[in-house]
Structure 1
Amino acid sequence: MNGNPISSTAISVQMAYQYYIENKFIVNRKYQRKLVWTMEEKAAFIDSLQKCYSVPLFLFANKNIEGVASFEIIDGMQRLNAIMAFIENEYPIKTFDGEYRYFDLETLSSTKSAMDNGEIIQRTPKLERQLCVNITNYPLPFSFISADEKSIEDIFRRINSYGRQLSNQEIRQAGAIGLFPELVRKVACIIRGDVSPHDQLKLNEMKLISLSNKRLNYGIVMEDIYWVKQHIITIPNMRVSRDEELIAWILSYMIMGEQISPTSYTLNKLYKYSITDNDNLSTKIEAQIEHLGSTTIQQWFSSIHSFIIDILDYAKKDFRTLVFSEEYSEGLVRTYQVIFLAFFELIIKEKMCVSDKLQLINKLDKIAKKHLLGISKSKWDAKDRFERIQSIKGIIKCCFKEATGNNVLNENWTLELDNLLRLSRIEGSQYDFKSGFHDLIENSKFNTKLVQKIIEILTAEVNKGPQTYGYVVVGLTEGEKDFERFKKHYNTSKGELFAGTDFYITGVEDEIKKYYGGDGDKLQNDILNTIKNTSAIDETVKNYITQHFRMVKYKEHDIIVFQLKSENDPVLYNDTIYVRKGNNTEAVTGVSAIKDFYLKIFSNK
């Protein structure tokens, strides 16, 4: 802390909303918990404002982001979100007469303007105008501090430790430094789907990755999260981050081996990293992560996770039903560790692949009920877990064979595409999606201009700054109308709507069948030859795109992925700098505009 005093003041709800729409509220996901309040919890808080009850203090750290005064939320994120969501008509509150009513958007000039522009829709019945005025005039107790990041994290942890508002895992994770906590956090976000392109997000972006058990037109529905859908972790336990505990136990075994104990006590030690204590368990796991590489470990986890999804999809059963039954289950978190790590040892450590998927499913059918009885009642230490992993591994090993050539798991993009689509809702300028390389008309030919356009888009995507990635994914059709045209053109019924978007995942396999007789290599050759023959980009950029170009699997679909990364300078296309403005690609023209671009984007390389 730099010694600056805390300043406190009362800020009206109306002024707080103005800060919100000006993007002044910042969330640091390194320590802030997820948006997890239910509609009922949000409505109860607004009811407190309506009744003029006292509410807890809101605490912020003063920040300066790109020259703009901003406020990083230390305490009060759930409550702030409840206020903003209510004002923007996302849910109603129960009034004195027992009716559920929505905020009247004509109460504030800012919400009326947004309504007139079609940005917010007025829902009915409306709350009485005077009650809306009373709520927007409510004085919220705001306090502001100036502190460094370490001090902010320490304050956050103390507030939530003493009040016991957070779970044990959330307290462990809050402000924890080191490679292991960061790895757990990243993997957990990827599996849940609440990934974000940066650690610091605007509060109004958080709703896109909020967790809810109500079906809204944004965010992530709790029932659709992998852990809940597979009946491994309940919704209440998701809210207290039991998924992160499970992931931490799995990752610690993958990194340190069978000697690591799967207990809360061990997790407490793993999260207490100290650079001065060489005998600390957390120091040892940090060194091993350095040795193996965080990216490699994350890929291991994603590979096994995608493999399990593929097996469950093929079996047409959720995890609990497959390994236990619909009527009976016990110790699901422990059981999942055992089966996941048995796959990890066979596929990653012993470099094997499935030889008979149907036989594997038959082996897994009620395997926990037959071979893991009593798992929830055992002492559950390192030895017990290891023995159970070896037992399951021995039962299923006959379904595997030695892998040869490229590891097919690297081509499974189920998890990666899910998260690219989610990230595109927050940072859309770095992602673009196309349906295919042939127009949906009879006798169409391979569209070389589309490949050129894809290259142009990639250069624009990475011109956000140094070390920026850009992606174009082919095999997705946008909108129901184009999806119907796609199905008619290829005479197919395949394709699925990705939740929370208007993208249908259709793949390019029908295009390959219609125009290439089912030979995907011919399509890839057309694409790569077009890239190699272009003169619009330099050889370094061309080589990066061709080397990272790939056809991958998303469930039963073939998807094509283009990728580009900027280094320390803008990437040119036809000697022109292109940038993304929303979903559009625009050239930077004029001396002043180009100079401004360099000063703002690449001056701090």
Structure 2
Amino acid sequence: MAAADSTELSVKGESLQQLYSEYGKNRFLINRRYQRKLVWTVEEKERLIDSVLKKLPIPLILLAESQHEDVARLEVIDGLQRLNALFAFIENEFPVDGKFFDIETLADTKFLKDEGRLAQREPILDRATCRDFTNYQLPVSTYRSASESSVDEVFRRINSSGRYLSPQEIRQAGSTMEISGLVRRISAAIRGDSSLTDYVNLNDMPKISITNRNLSYGIFDEGIFWIKQGILSNDSVRESRDEELVLDLLLDLILRPLASSGLDYRNAAYAEDRSSSSTSAGLIRSRLLTLGAGEVERRFMDTLDLIRETLDIAGAPYSTWTVTQQNPRGIPRHFHALFVAVDQLLHEEDLVPKSKKEFSAALKGFWDKDLSIPGGGNWGGERKTTLINAVKGHLRPHFEATKDEHKLKLQEQAFRFESTLRMALTEEALFELKQGFCQLNKPSAFDEGSFNKILKIASAMANTRAQAKGVIFIGVADDASDAAAIKRFTGVNSQQIDRFHVTGTQHELDALGKSVDEFFRWLIDKIKNSKLEPRFAEALASTLKPFRYGDYLLWTLEPAAMSAPVMYDGKFFVRNGPNTDEVLASGMIELVRRFPAS
């Protein structure tokens, strides 16, 4: 590993008190190319705390010094779950033996308590024990002057035995191939733990963690699609079997003829050599260039959205609705065959369900028909193709060619919307939510001031840094009071997702007397003729999209950085967290530095 020649490695003991202080300063950084999710159960966290309280040794924490957005940070290579558990106990997220950490033991936590940002829970662990806990010395190894590639290599090597990571996690670790990016993005969207960029503060990771308890933060595992539908078990998702299934499904969307599914074929998909395997990385790369990775991702999520909505109509999980043979480990191959068959009907035969209610009825007891699913091991391409053709034969009578060219224009985007919306929990600067285009108390009056504010925010997002990309949703209220006001003035009920409230904009279009197409064209003209720089206005207008989420009509804008800072009304603006601030003369040099000349 030549890249490591110029690096330095230091190993020393650091107290929990010191590490928590660094945590409070947002020093710890998580690179989600390999550290993708927090999955420890509360019981596992409690066992770690108990080990520390009993002064038992715990494994080494491995960090790498890095520069992120011109700030010195510590990238966590190994120890994410342990650090989260230790800091969560200090912040009173869970007790050990029924008692909570005494927040007044540490100056940092006492300060947060005095500020009202932490609350002491009871009963309280005695202070002497808490003091000993914070003085516990953790072995910490810090990797200095490390390149991105060398950090990836270290992560792969320390986990290559499979003791800590599953085979799929090792395949994904540090991979920069397009297929790994697709697997990562789609899997996170389905679980609900997506982040806008690969880098997330350790402090923000709990907001998108997977938890086995229905807490006020994080993602309750029983609500994850795979688990809720009985396709995979809780343990399987924690072991990244969901990403393995996503990989298998993607390969069947990308490759023709269908390749076999199994360990050897998954490994070949990530191999760097140009082997003749039907799932070699070179062949997949070539097919993705032909099909377009974005189009493959859209196609995958469209198929999944249809299946999820159909199951919602059924009112029963996939496992009990489609098959009576129960399996505590789940039924991934049943779902695999159905998914690929539905995808081919939708995207290769250009069919749509005659009605989702009819499609739902067709799936009832589906796998009790004369259809054979093979057991474990490799699943041969020919056998798979035969089964999928049989599934299509059973389903085709319930589909029809679309007669409406606009039928799919405002298609469901449930998974993508929910996933993107949750990114706002960790990336406030690059997200903005607006409840609508019109005045709150008068939905027939377009709110010019609010719309201009949206455009100003878009310019500020584009000024965040080179290659930055923001997201603005219109039709989502970010607090309950706005949602309540919309209901009071219009009668529209909102749907809550985490702390957000989906209200939609259809009631505004009805009040304005405009169709979606008319309003879309009108908004495009307003953006292009606004106070934005013409080049940026043109680019921003091209990102405007209406979409459906259930019964709600929403809109999205995706402002992206240009090659240099952009202005609104002759002024420069930037985002500081959720706030939009004008750049004064003293800040112009720093703004220009964000966009180095190529």
Question: TM bucket by the smaller chain?
Answer: over 0.9
- Kindly provide the CA deviation profile for residues 234-291 of structure 1, in whole angstroms up to 9, marking residues without a partner as x: 11111101101110100111111343101122112222223x6576822222222233
CA distance in 2, matches of 1:415, 1:331: 21
* Secondary structure in structure 1 of the residue aligned to 2:575: strand
CA–CA separation in structure 1 for the residues paired with 2:479 and 2:147: 46
> Residue 59 of structure 1 aligns with which residue?
62
Q: Tell whether 2:125 aligns with 1:83.
A: no
Change (3 A) 1:20 1:360: same
Q: Which amino acid aligns with 1:171?
A: I
Greater mean alpha carbon deviation, residues 73-82 or residues 234-243: 73-82
- Give yes or no for contact 2:565–2:595 (8 Å, CA) kept in 1: yes
Residue 583 of structure 1, CA deviation: 2.2
Runs of 4+ in 1 over 4 A off after TM superposition: 276-280, 325-331
Which amino acid letter does the alignment assign opposite residue 65 of structure 1? H
* CA spacing shift, 1:377–1:547, aligned 2, 3 Å: closer
Contact 2:230–2:330 (8 Å) recurs in 1 = no
Describe the shift of the 1:452–1:268 C-alpha distance in structure 2 as closer, same or farther (beyond 3 A). Answer: same
Equivalent position of 2:53 in the other structure? 50
CA drift of 1:131 comes to 0.7
**Is contact 2:301-2:413 (8 Å) kept?**
no
Helix, strand or coil: the match of 1:6? strand
Please name the residue that 1:479 is paired with.
479
Partner of 2:501: 504
Aligned to 1:150, the other structure's residue is in SS state: helix
Stretch deviating more after TM superposition (42-51 or 31-40): 31-40
Q: Bigger shift: 106-115 or 398-407?
A: 398-407
Whole-angstrom distance in 2 between the partners of 1:374 and 1:533: 58
Taking the aligned partners of 1:230 and 1:443, their CA distance within structure 2 comes to 39
Distance in structure 1 (CA, Å) of the matches to 2:28 and 2:582: 32
Q: Determine the C-alpha separation between the residues in 2 that align with 1:271 and 1:167.
A: 15
Q: Which residue of structure 2 lines up, in the alignment, with residue 438 of structure 1?
A: 438
Aligned length: 592
Give the match's secondary structure for 2:421.
helix
> Over residues 565-595 of structure 1, what are the superposed CA-to-partner deviations in whole Å (9 max), with x where a residue is unaligned?
2221112110111112222221112x22122
Indicate if the aligned counterparts of 2:61 and 2:140 stay in contact, CA closer than 8 A: yes
Give CA-to-partner distance per residue, 1:452-502, whole Å, 9 cap, x none.
22111111122112332223211122322322221121124x32111x21x
Q: CA deviation at 1:194?
A: 1.2
2:234 aligned partner, one-letter code = I
Task: Tell me if structure 2 keeps the 8 A contact 1:62–1:70.
Answer: yes
Q: Is 1:171 aligned to 2:170, yes or no?
A: yes
Question: Aligned pair 1:455/2:452, yes or no?
Answer: no
503-512 or 371-380, larger mean C-alpha shift: 371-380
Q: Tell me, yes or no, if the aligned pair for 1:45 and 1:82 is still in contact at 8 Å.
A: yes
- 1:391 CA drift (Å): 0.7
Distance 1:457 1:3 in 2: 43
Task: Say if 2:61 and 2:78, in contact at 8 Å, map to a contact too.
Answer: yes
**Structure 1 position 358, deviation (Å):** 2.7
Q: Cα gap change, 1:440/1:537 in structure 2, threshold over 3 Å: closer, same or farther?
A: closer
Q: Determine if contact 2:60/2:140 at 8 Å carries over to the other structure.
A: yes
1:131 aligned to which of 104, 129, 138? 129
> Aligned partner of 2:11: which letter?
S
Deviations 1:367-401 (A, max 9, x none): 11224345447973212211111111111112323
User: Residues 316 and 214 of structure 1: is their aligned pair in 2 closer, same or farther, counting only changes over 3 Å?
Assistant: same
SS across alignment from 2:232? coil
Give the CA deviation at 1:163. Answer: 5.9
- In structure 2, what residue type is equivalent to 1:354? P
Q: How much does 1:41 deviate?
A: 0.8
User: Is this contact kept in 1: 2:262–2:378, CA < 8 A?
Assistant: no
Give, as a single letter, the amino acid of the residue that structure 1 aligns with 2:395. Answer: I
* C-alpha contact (below 8 Å) 2:341/2:391 kept by paired residues: yes
**What is the match of residue 558 of structure 1?**
553
Unaligned runs of 5+ in 2: none
Q: Is the 8 A contact 1:61 1:74 kept in 2?
A: yes
Structure 1 residue 116 corresponds to structure 2 residue 114: yes
Residues 448 and 530, structure 1, Cα contact 8 Å, conserved in 2: no
Alignment RMSD (CA, Å):
2.4
Alpha-carbon separation, structure 2, partners of 1:176 and 1:437:
42
Q: 1:468 to 1:411 in 2, by over 3 A?
A: farther
In structure 1, what is the Cα distance between the partners aligned to 2:369 and 2:363? 10
Confirm or deny: 8 A CA contact 2:574 2:582 kept in the other structure.
Answer: yes
The AA in structure 1 aligned to 2:428 is G
